[in-house]
């Protein structure tokens, strides 16, 4: 043994691990350590360093084991070692295992490294060469606890690599051999022989491959027919150690308890890695579930119970396919007939330190008492077990029977549903959604009695105003989610799941569900609660009474919209609907908050009119709704001024939405409607926006009716021309936006600037000179009117062009009359609004007001929002901020919508006009503006573009847009501060930084989604990957094919995708990788792109693979690297040359990779060939030498379940003009 080399290794390790070492010293030391690994004597040096008896420190021992692993990993298959030398390497590994220190003494990272060494050898030589591997491990398992623990870890890791790793690190043939070996050694000889006999007796039920595998397994147990198999062996050990643990627990033998705890957890973890895939007969042998659930009610530690729950979760999450006999035997019997479910429930109670109570009592306790974080995590495990059991097994589509005592399980799912944790409650909702799709459960009427309980829970949660807002609920949210800003997204997902479930309930038993909700509404509307009213006897919107009323109306809307989609459901509920209609029509209220919900309910009775043609219902609805158009509260107060406006607007909106459903029936009363509108337009309560909305109503009735096109045009012109005329008059024929100075004067910037020179922001207008106060108010009124006109145009476009029906294409002609006027004026407004963001135009403006642009859109951080005075100058500045934000958004929406009109692309020089006006002073636009511009204008502009205009529109706009935005993004991402120190920033600066980073991410994502929309193929879900990566060219849109073949577009687009991959935004980066993977098969057909694909893109992806930020994307990165090499290498040497530029790369390594890559028969093995090559080059960072290989653990499924709304898979919407779409917003 060369002591000089050993000393040098230790010195280099010390340098690497010493934080005082310089980078240069550390680099030289790492270089030597890498070189010594390649030394032919590396395993010998490594073995000496690794042996415990040689008294090396743990760092040296760990590196020594790594040296042997390196030799096995990279030289074993190269035939660098003779058979004797391979045997010597095996013996080295086994000797290290035998000499391992005690369970509590030896460092975990040393044990894990020894395990990895043995697993690496086994992957290359067992069962074919290392024939006594299993026998040796059995001997070591029985030797002592130290070796027993390592044997458990070896089998756990080996099973994980073969069966559980997403990208398997074993070649396909070897994987099959090892998989067969694992089945053989884990099962008892009896099970294997019985299975073999069945194969012999029923050859028609098995394949030749299965027979060959079975023969191999039987061969492994011949001569050892009494072998019980590892599963039984582990479970027997588990039962023994459980008993010992409990005895030592009573005797307070702490050292023994610690050892036994580790071993029990190791056994459970190893069982977890086997239970997912072993043959069912082997699971029958161990009957594991009762053993696991009994541990929950015994005196075991937190860690042991957690491991037991995770092991049980693996079993309940396993796919039993159609094997209902095994499902019954392994799951239903022990849980429902045995003590399993009872043990789980008793354990559940123990988490709250209680015993012997009912489910109802536990429900009350869990809503008033919060769990410790550790106990909550255990409850999450219970939640996962029960939810997986329900989703995968109780609701399984292949299940043809009802398990015994199922009610106990369903009551537990109700208990989970009522839990204050949104994750737990949402998981239960997911189960009920799946259960409602099980024909077995529905046909046998198992679920009916639980539906009212679920609905009551939903009503209770909705009645809080904001779901999951109680202190205990927020406590769990803070545990489950790192960012409080996730709260809105969480509740939206929960509510979407609720909507899906209510619709499924309605589909299943429409009459019962409809009667349930109308009974709730009738009851609350027939009662009163004076304690919930204010001084004007109006209900407070924060009162319990109003929140409950609001919640019932919200649920009613969901149920009613579901019924509206299906004539059969309507017929079933028709009588109840008429009864409820009569109740509502005869109900009278002037309460503002009750009224606005009341109006919403009335509009749903359009279904009665649509399906029954009984116009009497419509006439009474007209009377009721038009009475609310002139709504006024009979109280001398301005308190309800804003909601009164909302009530009037809601009444008009409801009439408009109804007219979209039954335009022809509305048309029968068109003259009466016109006269009514004319009469009420003189009412003092009618505002300008009300008048515009009433004009929209008239236009929409005509537009969607079946009148001939000329009559439609005539009727619409009579109304529309008044709107256009008002636009002309208010804009002084466009003069107000002819230049930025006139526009700034019109919207009041100059006037407010002068006012702020004299008065402060919080000055009330009542203290100003009357003339000045009136002028400020007048400016607000003018800009509001102008905004309302533009918004009216947008709403008309939205409710005409965007609504699909038989006459939609013909109806688009109506817009030709107004197209040019709208386009020219809207582009002019967009152009001048862009100039507003040029700070040079604000040079003479008061600095306080100038801050408006900087602060705009930053929630709760604007100058104006700090001012609380009701009628202060700040209030009008806040309104000005809102106007500046809203007016460009409206412009973008209108322009994007106009692209749906055929005339748009025929308009003379449209591409030049768009560039000159829409992209005018684009350098001044904020990230938010750019995001809106891309999403609402550029995307529809390109998507709706006819093919004959590709060469003009695409070539003129896309290249410059991509290059400009890409340059902007590169510059801004380079300046992003990823670490914000709260202590060094004022609150306002911190909020501004967070806001800026968010808008930058939003802009980046909008660009990626634009690319996706343009060029990604439309591939059906569930499409299996193929070795050749072939994608049908027809899966790509015509615009994609054009872009692929346009150098001016595709090259900057690919460059942009490469840049986005390296940005520190997970969604953008991963989406860019996905796009490249999906378009690569088409790009490879274009030789001019070989260089950019094989060099630029490949280098970028390799950089990302080596970047720690992209670690979670490694699977996709490997997939992209594999596809590039696989598809491009046969055509040219460019990807080969790129790989050769990597450090330590050799021709031999690439040749070995290519041999494996091009001979693989699965996509995963192709990807493994690439990953193995890169890991060889990349190596393992010295700084990660002590990193443990993670044990296989079934991850928490709760957050995954929370994100699975499943709405698209469950519920289909047939008509775009259906009621469920028009009234799809269930929140007022």
pLDDT in tens, 770-805: 999 999 999 999 999 999 999 999 999 999 998 887
Residues sharing a CB contact under 8 Å with residue 19, sequence separation 6 or more, in sequence order: none
Domain assignment of residue 439, yes or no:
no
Spell out where 236-361 has E strands.
none
Domain assignment of residue 106, yes or no:
no
Strand partners of residue 533:
539
Query: For the chain, how many structural domains are there in total?
Result: 4
Tell me: do 763 and 893 sit in the same domain. Answer: yes
Per-residue model confidence (pLDDT) at position 969: 94
Tell me: do 584 and 700 sit in the same domain. Answer: yes
Tell me: do 1114 and 1098 sit in the same domain. Answer: yes
Neighbours of 1155 (CB within 10 A): 11
Q: Is 1095 helix (H, G, I), strand (E, B) or coil?
A: helix
Per-residue model confidence (pLDDT) at position 564: 86
Domain assignment of residue 1228, yes or no:
no
Kindly state the tokens that stand for 1164. Answer: 């995963």
Kindly state the tokens that stand for 80. Answer: 């660098």
Residue reference for tokens 């420190």: 57
Q: What angle do CA 822, 823, 825 make, to 5 degrees?
A: 65
- The answer to whether the beta carbons of residues 650 and 600 sit under 8 Å apart is yes
- The answer to whether the beta carbons of residues 366 and 420 sit under 8 Å apart is yes
Residue reference for tokens 């936006």: 737
Domain assignment of residue 188, yes or no:
no
Per-residue model confidence (pLDDT) at position 820: 96
- The answer to whether the beta carbons of residues 546 and 532 sit under 8 Å apart is yes
Kindly state the tokens that stand for 497. Answer: 């799941």
1086 Cα distance to chain centroid:
35
Per-residue model confidence (pLDDT) at position 278: 92
Per-residue model confidence (pLDDT) at position 1194: 36
Per-residue model confidence (pLDDT) at position 1176: 64
Tell me: do 838 and 898 sit in the same domain. Answer: yes
Domain assignment of residue 1151, yes or no:
no
Tell me: do 990 and 907 sit in the same domain. Answer: no
Q: What angle do CA 200, 205, 210 make, to 5 degrees?
A: 70
Q: How far is the C-alpha of 556 from the C-alpha of 975, rounded, in Å?
A: 50
Of 72, 99, 126, which closes a domain?
99
Kindly state the tokens that stand for 208. Answer: 């030749």
Per-residue model confidence (pLDDT) at position 560: 94
Tell me: do 1110 and 1057 sit in the same domain. Answer: yes
Of 685, 706, 727, which closes a domain?
706
Domain ranges, residue 80: 1-99
pTM: 0.82
Tell me: do 779 and 813 sit in the same domain. Answer: yes
Domain assignment of residue 233, yes or no:
no
Strand partners of residue 539:
533
Q: Is 418 helix (H, G, I), strand (E, B) or coil?
A: coil
Q: How far is the C-alpha of 931 from the C-alpha of 1001, rounded, in Å?
A: 10
Tell me: do 626 and 725 sit in the same domain. Answer: no
Tell me: do 676 and 626 sit in the same domain. Answer: yes
Domain assignment of residue 75, yes or no:
yes
What's the residue count for the chain?
Answer: 1228
- The answer to whether the beta carbons of residues 712 and 811 sit under 8 Å apart is yes
Kindly state the tokens that stand for 890. Answer: 């409206």
Q: What angle do CA 115, 48, 157 make, to 5 degrees?
A: 5
Of 907, 925, 943, which closes a domain?
925
b (16+ CB within 10 A) / e for 25-52: ebeebbebbeebbeeeebbbbbbbbbbe
Per-residue model confidence (pLDDT) at position 1200: 43
Q: Is 415 helix (H, G, I), strand (E, B) or coil?
A: helix
- The answer to whether the beta carbons of residues 833 and 861 sit under 8 Å apart is no
Domain assignment of residue 975, yes or no:
yes
Tell me: do 744 and 795 sit in the same domain. Answer: yes
Task: List the one residue out of 300, 303, 301, 270 whose CA is nearest residue 288.
Answer: 270
Tell me: do 521 and 657 sit in the same domain. Answer: yes
Q: How far is the C-alpha of 943 from the C-alpha of 564, rounded, in Å?
A: 32
Q: How far is the C-alpha of 23 from the C-alpha of 38, rounded, in Å?
A: 23
Per-residue model confidence (pLDDT) at position 804: 80
Kindly state the tokens that stand for 843. Answer: 């040079």
Tell me: do 673 and 782 sit in the same domain. Answer: no
Q: Write out residues in the chain with pLDDT < 70, as ranges.
A: 1, 78, 166-169, 221-223, 482-488, 635, 852-869, 977-996, 1020-1027, 1176-1228
Query: Would you list the DSSP string of 580-645?
Result: HHHHHHT-----HHHHHHHHHHHHTTHHHHHHH--HHHHHHHHHHHHHHHT---SSS-STTHHHHH
Per-residue model confidence (pLDDT) at position 983: 42
């Amino acid at each position: 043994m060369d002591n000089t080399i050993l000393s040098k290794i230790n010195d280099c390790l010390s340098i690497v691990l010493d934080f005082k070492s310089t980078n240069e010293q550390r680099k030289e030391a790492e270089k030597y350590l890498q070189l010594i690994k390649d030394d032919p004597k590396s395993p010998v040096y490594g073995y000496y360093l690794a042996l415990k008896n040689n008294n090396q420190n743990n760092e040296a021992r760990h590196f020594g084991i790594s040296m042997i692993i390196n030799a096995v990993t990279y030289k074993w298959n190269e035939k660098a070692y003779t058979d004797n030398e391979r045997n010597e390497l095996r013996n080295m590994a086994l000797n290290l295992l035998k000499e391992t220190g005690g369970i509590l003494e030896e460092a975990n990272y040393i044990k894990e490294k020894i395990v990895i060494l043995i697993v690496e050898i086994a992957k290359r030589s067992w069962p074919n060469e290392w024939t006594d591997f299993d026998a040796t491990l059995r001997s070591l398992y029985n030797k002592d606890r130290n070796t027993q623990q390592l044997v458990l870890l070896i089998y756990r890791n080996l099973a994980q690599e073969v069966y559980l790793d997403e990208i398997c690190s074993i070649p396909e043939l070897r994987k099959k051999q090892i998989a067969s070996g694992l089945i053989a050694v884990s099962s008892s000889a009896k099970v294997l022989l019985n299975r073999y006999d069945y194969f012999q007796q029923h050859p028609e039920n098995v394949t030749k491959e299965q027979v060959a595998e079975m023969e191999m397994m039987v061969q492994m147990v011949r001569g050892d027919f009494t072998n019980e198999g590892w599963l039984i062996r582990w479970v027997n050990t588990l039962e023994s150690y459980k008993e010992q643990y409990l005895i030592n627990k009573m005797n307070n033998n702490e050292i023994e308890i610690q050892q036994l705890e580790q071993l029990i957890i190791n056994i459970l973890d190893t069982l977890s890695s086997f239970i997912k895939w072993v043959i069912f007969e082997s699971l029958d042998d161990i009957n594991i579930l009762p053993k696991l659930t009994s541990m929950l009610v015994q005196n075991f530690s937190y860690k042991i119970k957690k491991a037991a729950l995770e092991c049980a979760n693996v079993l309940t999450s396993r796919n039993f396919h159609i094997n209902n006999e095994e499902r019954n035997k392994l799951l239903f019997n022990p849980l429902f007939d045995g003590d399993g479910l009872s043990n789980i429930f008793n354990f559940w109670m123990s988490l709250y330190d209680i015993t012997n109570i009912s489910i109802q009592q536990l429900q009350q306790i869990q809503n008033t008492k919060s769990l410790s974080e550790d106990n909550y995590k255990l409850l999450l495990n219970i939640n996962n077990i029960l939810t997986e059991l329900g989703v995968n097994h109780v609701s399984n589509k292949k299940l043809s029977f009802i398990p015994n005592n199922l009610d106990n399980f369903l009551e537990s799912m109700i208990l989970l549903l009522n839990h204050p944790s949104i994750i737990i409650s949402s998981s239960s909702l997911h189960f009920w959604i799946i259960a409602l799709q099980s024909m077995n459960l529905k046909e046998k009427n198992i679920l009916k009695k639980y539906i009212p309980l679920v609905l009551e829970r939903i009503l209770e949660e909705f009645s809080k105003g904001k779901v999951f807002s109680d202190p205990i609920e927020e406590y769990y949210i803070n545990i489950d989610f790192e960012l409080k800003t996730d709260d809105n997204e969480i509740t939206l997902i929960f509510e979407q799941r609720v909507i899906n479930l209510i619709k499924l309930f309605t589909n299943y038993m429409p009459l019962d569900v409809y009667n349930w909700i109308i009974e709730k509404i009738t009851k609350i509307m027939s009662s009163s609660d004076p304690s919930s009213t204010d001084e004007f006897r109006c209900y407070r919107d924060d009162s319990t009474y109003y929140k409950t009323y609001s919640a019932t109306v919200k649920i009613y809307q969901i149920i009613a919209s579901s019924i509206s989609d299906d004539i059969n459901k309507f017929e079933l509920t028709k009588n109840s609907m008429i009864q409820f209609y009569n109740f509502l029509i005869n109900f009278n209220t002037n309460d503002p908050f009750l009224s606005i919900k009341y109006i919403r309910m009335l509009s749903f009775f359009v279904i009665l009119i649509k399906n029954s043609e009984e116009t009497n219902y419509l006439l009474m609805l007209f009377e009721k709704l038009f009475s609310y158009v002139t709504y006024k509260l009979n109280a001398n107060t301005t308190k309800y001024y804003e909601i009164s406006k909302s009530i009037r607007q809601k009444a008009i909106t409801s009439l408009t939405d109804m007219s979209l459903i039954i335009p022809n029936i509305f048309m029968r009363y068109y003259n009466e409607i016109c006269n009514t509108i004319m009469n009420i337009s003189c009412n003092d309560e009618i505002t300008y926006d009300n008048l515009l909305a009433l004009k929209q109503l008239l236009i929409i009735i005509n537009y969607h009716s079946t009148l001939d096109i000329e009559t439609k045009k005539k009727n619409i012109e009579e109304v529309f021309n008044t709107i256009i005329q008002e636009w002309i008059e208010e804009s002084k024929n466009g003069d107000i936006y002819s230049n930025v100075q006139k526009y700034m004067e019109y919207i009041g910037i100059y006037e407010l600037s002068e006012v702020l020179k004299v008065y402060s922001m919080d000055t009330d207008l009542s203290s100003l000179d009357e003339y000045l106060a009136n002028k400020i108010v007048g400016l607000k009124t003018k800009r509001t009117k102008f905004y309302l006109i533009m918004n009216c145009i947008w709403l008309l476009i939205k409710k005409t062009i965007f609504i699909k029906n038989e006459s939609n294409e013909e109806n688009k002609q109506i817009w030709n009359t107004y197209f040019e006027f709208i386009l020219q004026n809207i582009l002019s407004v967009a152009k001048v609004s862009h100039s507003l963001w040029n700070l040079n135009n604000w040079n003479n403006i008061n600095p306080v007001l100038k801050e408006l642009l900087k602060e705009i859109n930053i929630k709760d951080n604007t100058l104006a929002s700090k001012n609380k005075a009701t009628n202060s100058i700040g209030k009008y500045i806040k309104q000005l901020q809102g106007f500046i934000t809203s007016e460009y958004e409206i412009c973008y929406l209108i322009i994007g919508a106009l692209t749906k009109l055929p005339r748009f692309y025929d308009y003379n020089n449209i591409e030049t006009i768009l560039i000159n006006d829409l992209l005018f002073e684009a350098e001044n636009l904020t990230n938010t503006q750019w995001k809106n511009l891309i999403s609402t204008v550029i995307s529809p502009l390109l998507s709706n573009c006819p093919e004959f205009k590709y060469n003009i529109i695409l070539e003129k706009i896309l290249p410059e847009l991509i290059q400009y935005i890409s340059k902007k993004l590169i510059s801004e991402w380079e300046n992003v501060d990823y670490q914000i120190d709260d202590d060094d920033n004022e609150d306002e600066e911190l909020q501004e930084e967070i806001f800026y980073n968010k808008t930058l991410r939003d802009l980046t994502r909008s660009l990626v989604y634009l690319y996706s929309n343009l060029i990604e193929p439309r591939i059906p879900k569930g499409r299996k990957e193929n070795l050749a990566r072939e994608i049908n060219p027809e899966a790509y849109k015509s615009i994609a094919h054009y872009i692929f073949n346009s150098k001016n577009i595709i090259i900057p687009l690919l460059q942009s995708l490469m840049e986005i991959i390296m940005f520190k935004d997970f969604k953008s980066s991963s989406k860019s990788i996905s796009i490249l993977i999906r378009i690569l098969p088409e790009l490879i057909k274009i030789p001019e792109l070989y260089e950019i694909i094989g060099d630029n893109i490949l280098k970028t992806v390799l950089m990302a693979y080596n970047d720690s930020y992209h670690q979670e994307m490694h699977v996709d990165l490997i997939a992209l690297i594999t596809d590039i090499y696989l598809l491009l290498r046969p055509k040219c040497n460019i990807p080969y040359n790129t790989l050769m530029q990597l450090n330590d790369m050799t021709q031999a390594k690439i040749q070995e990779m290519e041999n494996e890559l091009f001979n693989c028969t699965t996509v995963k093995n192709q990807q493994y060939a690439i990953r193995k090559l890169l890991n060889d080059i990349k190596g393992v960072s010295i700084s990660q030498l002590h990193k443990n290989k993670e044990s296989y653990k079934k991850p928490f499924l709760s957050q995954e379940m929370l994100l699975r709304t499943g709405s698209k898979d469950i519920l289909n919407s047939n008509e775009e003009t259906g009621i469920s779409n028009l009234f799809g917003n269930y929140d007022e």
